[in-house]
Structure 1
Amino acid sequence: MSSESEPETTGVNRRAVIGTGAAALGGAALGAGLLAATGCADTAASQLPNTGEIVENLQNSTHLFHLTSADPERFDGGTLQGAHEGSFPVLAGQHGSVYFVRLEPGGIREPHWHPSAWEMNYHISGTAKWTILGTHSDGSYRTQSFEAHPGDLVFAPQGFFHYFENARTDAPLEVLIVFNTSAAETNDDIGILAAINSIPRSVLATVLAIPESALAGIPTDIKPVVVTKRH
């Protein structure tokens, strides 16, 4: 099922901020992310090895990586296994990386955006609930919310605010994600919690039209959550 709607702010706790109010906040930050994206890409390109170094790397690096056998990053809501230039050296300079994500029932990929990379998500098993927020040529913000099933592809453009969660309570969700960057995901990932905590509470309360006291329960860490879980 697919629908388009404007994001609404409906609550005052962390869940509401991350779920619906987050879309508005992500949209506000999105413009700056999109404006900076080209600059980030140009900087990254200038730091890549030259052609000779890339060719030499391809000749001397292994071309096989056992993705699902790699040591996983473990989170409350699931696991993340990645092949990037740090774990799979042949990818250096190739503008590509791959992640295998497994979300347990109740698992949520933290709402986030990538300043300098798009992502393609192939759904292997389970059912995912998706939300993607982006800007459009008429100057508006638009939210798309939909479900994805095994065999489906979901594309999240560079700079678009997005997240997905496991829609089922009886089975895990497995997704293979391809990025057009060789960097580790957390080097090109701005999560909603860190974004919220980069804003003074007085400003955030004004933007969300809620009392500042309503934000007291939000954790103050500025770090990636990556994968979390409903409680």
Structure 2
Amino acid sequence: MTGISRRRALGAGVAGVAGLAATGGTAGAGAPTPPRTGQPGHLFHLAATEPNNFDGGWLRGANEQNFPVLAGRQGSVYLAHLDPGGIREPHWHPTAWELNYIVSGTAKWTVLGTHPDGEYHNDVFTAELGDLVFAPTGLFHYFENASTTEPLDVLIVFNTSTAEPDDDIGIVGSLNAIPRDVLAASFGVPESAFAQVPQRIEPVVITRRR
């Protein structure tokens, strides 16, 4: 009985695997296996996206519109860049909370809470490199660049897949949704005090000090 050459057998096996790889086939199958389709991409080049530019900085984001794997996942992420003097427009999110991570710079924060005891609880603080800031769903908040010379970068994670600022209600839009006489009565001032409030309702998002 003739012995089996291990080298010859190994060579034949390697050749067979190479042939299957070349044809896309599988062992024991007469036809090549079709490539898998419908698989979501799990990599998103956030830094390579076109920024949404504003007067006081820019915003880059990944959401269900440009990163399909997030559809229905209740999650999105944004990188907000504020120039010196930049301010994230005061706003709130009706359906989402957010986690903010300070990538660089220093931010001044304000989060306005509820008032069950009859007084508003206004949390004002400074967040620096490496700090996390949580803004609960529905609470009025904003942040600004605390520096007059250095930029501020904040990575923001939301528990919504909706594109920013589609889930924002900003202060400019809020004021424009209220008749001037109602604003005057609420503030206890003449209607003329609101004459210079812009009447065009649009997301401001990132502005700057004048």
- The answer, yes or no, to whether TM exceeds 0.5 is yes
Runs ≥4 residues deviating over 4 A: none
Map residues 28-107 of structure 1 onto 2, 5 A cutoff.
Answer: 60-107=39-86
2:99 matches 1:146: no
User: Residue 115 of structure 1 corresponds to which residue in structure 2?
Assistant: 94
- For 2:39 and 2:189, how far apart are their aligned partners in 1? 57
2:196 matches 1:207: no
TM-score of the aligned structures, taking structure 1 as reference length: 0.73
User: Residue 216 of structure 1 corresponds to which residue in structure 2?
Assistant: 195
Q: Report the secondary structure of 2:121's partner residue.
A: strand
The CA deviation at 1:221 is 1.3
The CA deviation at 1:199 is 0.2
Q: String of CA shifts for 1:36-95, please: whole Å, max 9, x gaps.
A: xxxxxxxxxxxxxxxxxxxxxxx6110000112110000010000000000110000110
Aligned sequence identity (%): 63
Tell which structure's C-alpha radius of gyration is larger. Answer: 2
TM-score of the aligned structures, taking structure 2 as reference length: 0.80
User: Residue 3 of structure 2 corresponds to which residue in structure 1?
Assistant: none
- For 2:68 and 2:59, how far apart are their aligned partners in 1? 19
Which structure 2 residue ranges, 5 or more long, are not aligned? 1-37
Q: String of CA shifts for 1:101-139, please: whole Å, max 9, x gaps.
A: 000001000000000000000001111011100115545
Q: Report the secondary structure of 1:141's partner residue.
A: coil
Q: String of CA shifts for 1:166-219, please: whole Å, max 9, x gaps.
A: 010111000000000001022211000000000000000111121111111110
User: Residue 135 of structure 2 corresponds to which residue in structure 1?
Assistant: 156
Q: Which has the higher contact order (CA 8 A, sep 6+)?
A: 1
- For 1:140 and 1:170, how far apart are their aligned partners in 2? 36
Which structure 1 residue ranges, 5 or more long, are not aligned? 1-58
User: Residue 165 of structure 1 corresponds to which residue in structure 2?
Assistant: 144
2:193 matches 1:193: no
- Aligned-pair RMSD on alpha carbons? 1.4
Residue type at the aligned position of 1:100: L
Q: Report the secondary structure of 2:153's partner residue.
A: strand
Residue type at the aligned position of 1:190: I
Q: Report the secondary structure of 1:64's partner residue.
A: coil
> Which one has the bigger helix percentage?
1
Q: Report the secondary structure of 1:90's partner residue.
A: helix
Q: Report the secondary structure of 1:202's partner residue.
A: helix
2:76 matches 1:132: no
The CA deviation at 1:140 is 4.0
User: Residue 54 of structure 1 corresponds to which residue in structure 2?
Assistant: none
- For 1:138 and 1:175, how far apart are their aligned partners in 2? 33
